[in-house]
């Protein structure tokens, strides 16, 4: 595979045609699920009101839906892999992204029922309740036309999302109410706009030679589109806040720009608290790209201070507005372990020995240590895109920040005990800031992780499956995905560890890095 990566010109010819064919096939399969009638992957949102309804008079049975989504994600992963092999040309303008946005807005969300929970929490907020205290099933005596349709296992769970996300959920409920389909469609519009804003911010933050990479890993990535955009997940919105913050910091080096970037990072963390990683990455990037003179160091300190000020103001204001219970549910679920992670194997085998509480504490500690190790290895094996020319020194912080976000977030989703496939959206949003390498270890690790997780959570709901499909999909989630991800852990540690060497430094075949000398012959 590494040898194939060393022929970018050839890939642009034959490989580009194959990539486009795979993209069309993958996106067509995803659209088939979203445009058809409610099925095992797509919860029933009818009646549709003024929002779009099913455009295809098809009802896909659970087995067909599962096969279609598995096929879509496998074809999509192959398309992304081909795109990573060569220097793909960027899309011209916004016509293709605009067309994809329209198709996304005609689809009903699928892959989970999270979008129903989102608007249910928004409806509780608009109705004067506290979504961080009151559960959907208890609101309005269980008779509300929206909150009563939240699906298991979230019917009795208060909101785990931050105040910024809940404000957007409330906006969706207010504009679209009292129809479930209308409220969800307004939320879809917010998600699609966030996806488009992320592309704009990446193009603004990175030099033109990286814009083709933006479209490969973000705009035309079926994994991002299927899991994040067509799934209408809040992670797309949180990722947009992070990337917009990076673009603002890159284009405005003064204190106002730093404060505004910090404000966007505050919105990201107030959407999902784990997205506070953006503040760490951007602050570290400002320091790493500060220059060698004392004046540059002082300027970097001022920029970081401005970011912190903007972050604290936004987070503090939202916290005061939301009240004291915002993070109650997050604290209650902090030791959860999802089925498709290797930690689940440890939980089930150690629980009889250490007990439930002791095992979960051990898993939490082990996950934190593993995340630190993987982050160090992934960042060591990659580098930021750039650097920028001297007159644009401030912009060199942008690829460095995105590189740090990609490595840190990928380490988190790989190591976290509770990790779902749409948590990977931020990784893909940040990957354009990572310099192409041979082999692209960070990108391949992200592709492997997202693909396995996507397959593990098809069709994505606990309702509407036949016993056979449930046995197949839960069997993959419980008995196959954890072992595949464990193998990925071991592969990364083996390849990137002290004995594995550093990829791209002569031990691997392929292109050498620009500006480096070839290894000496012996």
3-state secondary structure 67-88: HHHHHHHHHHHHHHHHHHHCCC
As a 3-state breakdown, the chain gives helix, strand, coil percent values, each rounded to 5, of: 70, 0, 30
Cβ–Cβ under 8 Å, residues 112 and 460:
yes
Partners of residue 434 on adjacent β-strands:
384
Residue 156 makes CB contacts below 8 A (sequence gap 6+) with 135, 136, 137, 138
Q: 62-85 and 441-456 helices cross at what angle (nearest 10)?
A: 180
* 433: exposed, middle or buried (Cβ count in 10 Å: 0-12, 13-18, 19+): buried
> What is the reported pLDDT for 462?
82
Pick from 115, 133, 137: nearest CA to 125: 133
pLDDT in tens, the chain (522 residues): 333 333 444 445 677 889 999 999 999 999 999 999 999 999 999 999 999 999 999 999 999 999 999 999 999 999 999 999 877 889 999 999 999 999 999 999 999 999 999 999 999 999 999 999 999 999 999 899 999 999 988 999 999 999 999 999 999 999 998 999 999 999 999 999 999 999 999 999 999 999 999 999 999 999 999 999 999 999 999 999 999 999 999 988 788 999 999 999 999 999 999 999 999 999 999 988 886 555 688 888 999 999 999 999 999 999 999 999 999 988 888 889 999 999 999 999 999 888 989 999 999 999 999 999 999 999 999 999 875 444 334 447 899 999 999 999 999 999 999 999 999 999 999 999 999 887 889 999 999 999 999 999 999 888 889 999 999 999 999 999 999 999 999 999 999 987 654 544 333 334 434 333 333 333
> What is the reported pLDDT for 295?
62
> What is the reported pLDDT for 290?
81
CA distance 163 to 270: 6
> What is the reported pLDDT for 506?
33
| Tokens representing residue 3 in the block | 């040898």
> What is the reported pLDDT for 95?
97
> 3-class DSSP state for residue 301?
helix
pTM, two decimal places: 0.92
> 3-class DSSP state for residue 405?
helix
- Whats the size of the chain, residue-wise? 522
> What is the reported pLDDT for 515?
36
| Tokens representing residue 337 in the block | 């372990």
Buried b (16+ CB within 10 A) or exposed e, 262-290: bbbbbbbbbbbbbbbbbbebbbbbbeebb
Q: Residue 128 region, left (φ>0) first, then alpha (ψ -120 to 50), else beta? A: left
CA distance 449 to 342: 12
CA distance 62 to 64: 6
Cβ–Cβ under 8 Å, residues 188 and 116:
no
Q: What are phi and psi of 381, to 5 degrees?
A: -90, 5
Long-range contacts of residues 204-207, Cβ cutoff 8 Å, at least 24 apart: 204/247, 204/250, 204/251, 205/243, 205/246, 205/247, 205/250, 205/251, 205/395, 205/398, 205/399, 205/402, 205/433, 206/385, 206/398, 206/399, 206/402, 206/432, 206/433, 207/385, 207/386, 207/388, 207/395
CA–centroid distance for 63 within its chain: 27
Query: Cis bond leading into 387, ω under 30°?
Result: yes
> What is the reported pLDDT for 4?
37
Q: Within 210-341, where are the H helices?
A: 211-214, 222-223, 234-251, 255-269, 277-288, 294-322, 328-332
- What are the structural domain ranges in the chain? 2-496
The answer to whether the Cα torsion of 198, 201, 205, 206 is positive or negative is: positive
Cβ–Cβ under 8 Å, residues 359 and 350:
yes
3-state SS of 433-475?
HECCCCCCHHHHHHHHHHHHHHHHCCCCCCCCCCHHHHHHHHH
């Amino acid at each position: 595979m590494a040898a194939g990566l060393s022929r970018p010109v050839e890939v642009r010819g034959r490989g580009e045609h194959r990539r486009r064919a795979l993209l069309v096939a993958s996106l067509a399969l995803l659209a088939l699920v979203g445009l058809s009638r409610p099925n095992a992957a797509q919860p029933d949102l009818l009646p549709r009101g003024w929002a779009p309804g099913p455009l295809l008079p098809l009802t896909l049975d659970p087995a067909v839906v599962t096969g279609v989504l598995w096929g879509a994600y496998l074809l999509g992963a192959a398309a992304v892999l081909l795109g990573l092999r060569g220097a793909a040309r960027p899309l011209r303008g916004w016509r293709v992204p605009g067309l994809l946005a329209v198709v996304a807005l005609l689809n009903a969300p699928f892959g989970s029922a999270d979008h129903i929970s989102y608007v249910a929490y928004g409806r509780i907020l608009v109705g004067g309740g506290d979504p961080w205290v009151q559960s959907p099933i208890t609101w309005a005596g269980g008779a509300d036309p929206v909150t009563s349709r939240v699906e298991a296992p979230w019917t009795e769970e208060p909101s785990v999302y931050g105040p910024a996300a809940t404000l957007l959920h409330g906006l969706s409920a207010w504009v679209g109410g009292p129809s479930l389909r209308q409220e969800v469609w307004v939320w879809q519009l917010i998600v699609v706009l966030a996806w488009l804003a992320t592309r704009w911010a990446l193009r603004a933050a990175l030099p033109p030679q990286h814009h083709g990479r933006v479209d490969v890993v973000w705009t035309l990535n079926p994994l991002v589109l299927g899991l994040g955009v067509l799934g209408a997940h809040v992670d797309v919105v949180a990722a947009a806040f992070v990337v917009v913050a990076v673009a603002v910091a890159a284009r405005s080096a003064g204190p106002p720009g730093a404060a505004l970037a910090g404000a966007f990072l505050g919105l990201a963390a107030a959407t999902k608290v784990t997205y506070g990683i953006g503040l760490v990455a951007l602050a570290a990037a400002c320091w790493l790209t500060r220059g060698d003179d004392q004046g540059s160091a002082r300027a970097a300190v001022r920029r970081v201070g401005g970011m912190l000020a903007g972050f604290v103001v936004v987070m503090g204001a939202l916290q005061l507005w939301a009240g004291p219970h915002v993070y109650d549910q997050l604290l209650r679920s902090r030791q959860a372990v999802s089925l498709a992670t290797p930690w689940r194997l440890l939980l089930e085998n150690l629980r009889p020995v250490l007990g439930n509480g002791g095992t979960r504490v051990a898993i939490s500690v082990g996950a934190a240590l593993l995340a630190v190790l993987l982050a160090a290895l992934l960042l060591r094996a990659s580098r930021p895109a750039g650097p920028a020319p001297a007159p644009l020194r401030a912009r060199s912080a942008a690829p460095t920040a995105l590189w740090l976000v990609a490595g840190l977030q990928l380490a988190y989703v790989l190591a976290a005990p509770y990790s779902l496939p749409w948590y990977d959206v931020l990784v893909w949003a940040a990957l354009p800031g990572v310099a192409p390498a041979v082999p692209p270890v960070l990108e391949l690790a992200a592709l492997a992780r997202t693909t396995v997780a996507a397959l593990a959570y098809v069709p994505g709901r606990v309702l509407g499956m036949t016993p056979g499909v449930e046995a197949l999909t839960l069997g993959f989630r419980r008995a196959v995905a954890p072992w595949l991800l464990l193998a990925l852990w071991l592969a990364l540690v083996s390849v990137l560890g002290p004995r594995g060497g550093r990829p791209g430094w002569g031990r691997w075949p392929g292109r050498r890095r620009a500006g480096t000398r070839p290894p000496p012959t012996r």
